[in-house]
Amino acid sequence: MLCEALRQADSPDIAAVLEATELALDSSVWSFGSPTFNPPNLGGIVSERTAMEAMITRSDNTATDMMLKLAGADNVRRFIAAAGLNNTLIPDSTRALTGYVFGASNYLTLTWEQLLEVVQGPQVHPFFNDVQTLASSADDFVSYYSRALRGDFFQHVETLNEFRRILTLCDFIYLVPLPLGVSAYTKSGNVDISGFHVRSLAGGMFFGRRWVYFAFIINWNASGATDPDTLSRFFDAINQSLTLVKHALSR
């Protein structure tokens, strides 16, 4: 979503363009899993740049839906296809995804009030499905970031710099954490629904005039809303792996 939205606004004055583009933050885009925009407690007008930052910094689903609405889910899918990312799927919105998983027949037009109601019922479809889902492969992530972070998808260096800047805001850089002494550009993924959990972290590190691209993905089942033990082990594995890579390539 971030890359396609930036491609659509690609220009030498990209920061000003994004700041000047106003997006509605209201019930039409509210979605669960939004720690920054915190529906229904926040509303008003925010800039496209602010929405992009919220989408990356805290993986905010309301921000994601705002960007999907602006850029167009089908446009994002066309970009994904053109980039050859054949194992990557996106929903029309995170709200539509949740609605479909919980069996709403009108998942594409679900209101905020209807979303609140439908999730009171049982889960009807698995998170991974062929209608509304978020999915990718490690190969696709590495293929994408190895090109995007070098600027292959942008016309102006200013847009590339904005893309990189926003990716440095991801909170997982410090929660994992990634090794000290690198420039880290990354995006996290988070799912916790009916005992099914997903965490992912993909992107790139730059150090010693060298790029390293990575993707870490774990899907698992565990009772409860969270599973901190598995998450801690996953973070440790990421930290240890990338630290070893950095040390090996810094000699």
- Residue with token string 């805290």: 58
The answer to whether the beta carbons of residues 44 and 25 sit under 8 Å apart is yes
User: Domain segments of the chain: what residues?
Assistant: 170-251
Compute the distance between CA of residue 100 and CA of residue 185 in angstroms, rounded to an integer: 32
Q: Which amino acid is at 124?
A: V
Average pLDDT of the chain is 98
Return the closest-CA partner of residue 144 out of 79, 195, 217: 79
Q: In sequence order, which residues have a C-beta less than 8 Å from that of residue 218 and are 6 or more positions away? A: 197, 198, 199, 200, 230, 234
Among the listed residues 197, 203, 239, 200, the one whose alpha carbon sits nearest the alpha carbon of residue 221: 197
187 with 63: CB under 8 angstroms? Answer: no
For residues 228 and 58, give the distance between their C-alpha atoms in angstroms, rounded to a whole number: 18
In this prediction the pTM is 0.97
8 A C-beta contact, residue 92 and residue 65: no
**Full 3-state SS string of the chain:** CHHHHHHHHCCCCHHHHHHHCEEEECCCCCCCCCCCCCCCCCCEEEEHHHHHHHHHHCCCHHHHHHHHHHHCHHHHHHHHHHCCCCCCECCCCHHHHHHHHCCCCCCCCCCHHHHHHHCCCCCCCCCCCCCCCCECCHHHHHHHHHHHCCCCCCCCHHHHHHHHHHHCCCCHHHHCCCCCCCEEEEEEEEEEECCEEEEEEEEEEEECCEEEEEEEEEEEECCCCCCHHHHHHHHHHHHHHHHHHHHHHCC
Asked if the model's pLDDT at residue 154 lies above 90, the reply is yes
Residue type for 60, please? D
Which pair of structure tokens corresponds to residue 219? 């899907």
Measured on CA atoms in the order 208, 210, 58, 157, is the torsion positive or negative?
positive
pLDDT in tens, 111-141: 999 999 999 999 999 999 999 999 999 999 9
Write the pLDDT tens digit of every residue in 169-193.
999 999 999 999 999 999 999 999 9
- Please check the confidence at residue 69 and state whether its pLDDT lies above 90: yes
Q: Is the per-residue pLDDT at 34 higher than 90?
A: yes
Residue 224: per-residue pLDDT: 85
Is residue 251 over pLDDT 90? Answer: no
Q: What is the pLDDT at residue 194?
A: 84
Q: For position 116, what pLDDT does the model report?
A: 98
